[in-house]
Amino acid sequence: MFYTKSSEETIKELHSDSYHGLSSDEIPKRAEKYGRNELTQKKNKSLFLKFLAQLNEPMIYILFAAALISAILKEFSDTVIILIVVLLNAVIGVVQESKAEKALDALKQLSSPKALVKRDGVVCEVNSADLVVGDIVLLEAGRYVPADLRLIEAVNLQIEESALTGESVPVNKDNEFVAPDEKTVLGDRKNMAYMSTYVTNGRGAGVVSETGMNTQIGKIAKSLDEAEEEATPLQVKLAQLGKTLGFLALGVCALIFVISIIEGKNIFDMLLTSISLAVAAIPEGLPAVVTIVLALGVQKMSKRKAIIRKLPAVETLGCVNVVCSDKTGTLTKNKMTVIKFYQNGALESIDQMDAKTNEMLLHGMALCNDSDISGENEIGDPTETALLVMGSRAGLTKEGLNREHPRVFELPFDSGRKMMTTVHTYGDKKLSFTKGATDNILTRTVHILENGKIRPITEEDKSALMNAMTAMSNEALRVLALAYKEVSEIDGETLESGLTFVGLVGMIDPPREEVKDAIHICHKAGIRTVMITGDHKDTAFAIARELDITQDKKQVLSGRELDEMSDEQLKKAVENTCVFARVSPEHKVRIVKAFKANGNIVSMTGDGVNDAPSLKNADIGVAMGITGTDVSKGAADMVLSDDNFTTIVGAIEEGRNIYANIKRTVLFLLSCNLGEIFTLLVAIVLNFTVMPLRPIHILWVNLITDTLPALSLGVEPGFRGIMNRKPRPKDESLFAHGGWFFIILNGILVGGVTLAGFQMGEGESHQQTIAFMVLAISQLFFSLSVRNIHTPIYKIGIFKNKALWGSILLGVLLQFLVTTPILSGAFETATLSGMEWLSIFLLSLAPFVINEIVKFVKLGRKK
């Protein structure tokens, strides 16, 4: 851990030379020992393997079995239909996920392509991939850091590390600093510079301490590679359902064979019957319907600014109960903003600032400033650009002030003095402005400017302004002081003495305005919001308090405290912690895993490189689309195209609705399948001479007429009060809250009316045709009751789901078409009379009417 050692010790341990660098002979030896300075990764799955992975599902196995059975029976049209459904399901999944696993590629692009290095005593430029441990690298403003470095020189060196640590402002580096121990968190290692961070100011030099996958960013890349893909709750439930249906189909077949042997029936005939039952037990359209419903949900969510990268993530959103959010750029604007100032003895909001009353403060902060604003682009240090924005609010521009009061001399900022000074012409005189840390400026101050007049500064003045500084610091504001003086001759030795105090400004990276309301909605929905940041404890708590995440500082845990905990201790601690401050990327992953170990479904939001591993490990990783790095987007399941925290709330709401719609489709399809099984079982037990349904009828209903309303149920408009409910438990059954009762009841009802229709006909073909029509049309009407299994249709709006009515009309039309001469041969159907059609419609309405009566009676009892 080189940050705990002096630069001299580091140079000695790495067998390097700070003056001459490494020799040319040494480079290949070290390259062979340590490897190239680049990120490596596992090979991504080929498109073919991704396609095969989509087929590795129990439900798909059952569909293949159904297709094989159909082929054995020489029902090739059935085989083709089933295989088309399987292929459609797989293609949709592959298309949706083909853009995944881009995170490591983005990490590679972040690596600096060129580096200034000292070798054989000569400064030269080399590819960053060719750097080796022990190389002496030179840093300057505007360059990316090409490897992990232990700094051996730092002159006003500032490095922007927000993507790696979450810090809002560039870090002042100090090569003389030695960390007290190895537990010093990443953001406090002032003597280190890390690969892919950006030099914003000053210059420096460092010795390469780590390269490639051993760098901090390399560790992130490795953790992304090692993160395991977990099945979503819905995937688990559908897999269990597939296995159950598979065993059910086998059980039914076995039962029929036993019955046929006992009753001495023709075994080949019973084989055909048992195959019909097996096909009836399998909802062939279910995988495709679920995939299409999820895909439709993805389209709907994209309109709400939430882009889903991985299809199953849609339903997982519905059971999220912990949202872990990065602070910088997610809960806050990632833009330092002046919100308070102190002048003329008063601490006020920035809204009270006046161009005339506060002229000297505005002028000084804008002129003693090395940053600039060009249009909407802010160039330079975020702290300084915040001061320029403060001036622009008062109608002042840096360009205008520089033109009117040109700079004639400067003393640059350095970490020792903690201040900078510039001299400007004001008519026929010169004024110097000194900006920096309050304590340092106050020791050099002899006068104070108050209401436009200069007078000697008193102890009371100093006490008042120190109280103002403390008040702002307690709100986690970064405080800067300004002083000035009139100079006749420029003397660098005396320029920063005998100053006149002007005022203070306090700034912070403020919360997004809309986030507080979003957090309140999450609270009502039973979702806990947790802040995770690399920023300091006080800053994190100030933001959390303002956003109502917590009002208790005891609920804030630092990275150093987290290091002291075992995984088991952390698992207990996270239950009472709302803010994690000063954390590293490894900490974030541990926090996410601790929440998951407690049975939570965790969403992690973030935008930096440092967020990528935790995004990957969370149940739902959410990246910011505008400010987010390509790395975070590649690791995420969902990307917010507007970087708005409130979009997460909308996405969770949509996820809950989509899950409810998938549950509707499952209940509908299984009720219909049970109706088919009930019809055939009753026919077998009662020893019917003719089976009510042929295999082609069952396949047609399962794949076509059932699928249409199932898809329409998948786009059922959302329930308004869904965000007033707690998240569903991840292990909650698809059939919870009366689901099995609903399926059994309606399976019997649909089967009962189908058998009744069968008894109406005369002759084998006629009987089967009426049974086929009643089965299909009763299921179409029954779909109206599935919209809400507890609430009568008149309460939820009869025509609210227009797509469902369209599906019913289309389904009825298709049923009519299969009785016409064009298709009757393929389906072995008979021509029906007008009275028979009327009877079919009346009989088919029975399940729908009975469901609505039951719901109406239940509603009356509740009242």
The kind and range of the H/E element at 424 are strand 419-426
Furthest-apart CA atoms within the chain: distance in Å: 121
Closest CA to 527 of 230, 718, 331, 728: 728
Closest CA to 157 of 188, 130, 184, 192: 192
Q: Please report, for residues 244, 254, 282, the alpha-carbon distance to residue 247 in angstroms, rounded to integers and kept in the order given.
A: 5, 10, 10
Closest CA to 508 of 550, 538, 534, 483: 538
The answer to whether 661 and 275 are in contact (CB under 8 A) is no
- Measured over the CA atoms of residue 342, residue 347, residue 353 and residue 356, the dihedral's sign is negative
Question: What is the b/e burial string over 677-711, where b = at least 16 CB atoms within 10 angstroms of the residue's CB?
Answer: bbbbbbbbeeebeebbbbbbbbbbbbbbbbbbbbb
The kind and range of the H/E element at 157 are strand 148-160
Say how far apart CA 590 and CA 608 lie, in whole Å. Answer: 17
The answer to whether 637 and 608 are in contact (CB under 8 A) is no
Place of tokens 């009426």: 770
Closest CA to 614 of 630, 598, 637: 637
Pairing mode of beta strands 638-640, 306-308: antiparallel
**Count of helix runs (H) and strand runs (E) in the chain:** 34, 26
- Using only C-alpha atoms, what is the Rg of the chain? 36
Instruction: Pull the structure tokens for residue 47.
Output: 């498109």
Q: Please report, for residues 41, 509, 557, 672, 734, the alpha-carbon distance to residue 476 in angstroms, rounded to integers and kept in the order given.
A: 40, 10, 16, 62, 47
The residues, any chain, with a CB within 8 Å of residue 5's CB and separated by 6 or more, are 13, 150, 178
The answer to whether 702 and 710 are in contact (CB under 8 A) is no
- Secondary structure of 207-244 in the HEC alphabet? EEEECHHHCHHHHHHHHHHHCCCCCCHHHHHHHHHHHH
Which residues does the annotation mark as catalytic?
Answer: 326
Say how far apart CA 795 and CA 289 lie, in whole Å. Answer: 27
Say how far apart CA 706 and CA 240 lie, in whole Å. Answer: 22
Say how far apart CA 55 and CA 49 lie, in whole Å. Answer: 10
Instruction: Pull the structure tokens for residue 616.
Output: 């990957």
Say how far apart CA 813 and CA 831 lie, in whole Å. Answer: 15
Instruction: Pull the structure tokens for residue 720.
Output: 């308004």
Question: How many CA atoms lie less than 13 Å away from 692 in the CB half-sphere?
Answer: 32
Say how far apart CA 677 and CA 373 lie, in whole Å. Answer: 73
Say how far apart CA 835 and CA 127 lie, in whole Å. Answer: 85
Instruction: Pull the structure tokens for residue 300.
Output: 């709907």
The answer to whether 5 and 184 are in contact (CB under 8 A) is no
The kind and range of the H/E element at 776 are helix 764-786
Place of tokens 């990120």: 39
- Measured over the CA atoms of residue 448, residue 452, residue 454 and residue 459, the dihedral's sign is negative
